Amino acid sequence: MGYLKNVSYIYPKERDMTEEIAELVNRLADIENEIAMLWDYHQDNPDKINVEDRFNQLQRDAAGIEDYLQVNGFEVEEEDELPF
């Protein structure tokens, strides 16, 4: 799932990109990337990801990695208790 959108903006050559403009461009890129990520789950997307299936798969993947690390001598510390 490559979400990073190739964003390039043209601004007049005679103007330097100010910090404010740079921050706005970065924020716009962040917003566009989040929109792209959310589209994966959006009800109008004919190829949407099933949230429950994806959640369950990620839980299985995490458990497998944790087990592998523990078997190989790495201690896995649980973070804050999650509601699931």
0.85 exceeded by pTM: no
Q: How many domains does the chain have?
A: 2
In this structure, the answer to whether residues 55 and 44 fall within a common structural domain is no
Q: Does 15 score more than 90 pLDDT?
A: no
The four Cα atoms 17, 9, 30, 36 give a dihedral, to 10 degrees, of: 180
Give the model confidence (pLDDT) of 33-59 as tens digits.
Answer: 999 999 999 999 999 999 999 999 999
Q: Does 4 score more than 80 pLDDT?
A: no
In this structure, the answer to whether residues 16 and 37 fall within a common structural domain is yes
Query: What is the pLDDT of the chain when averaged over all its residues?
Result: 84
In this structure, the answer to whether residues 39 and 57 fall within a common structural domain is no
What does the pLDDT read at residue 77? 79
Range of the domain at 39: 1-49
What does the pLDDT read at residue 36? 95
Q: Are 82 and 73 in contact (CB under 8 A)?
A: no
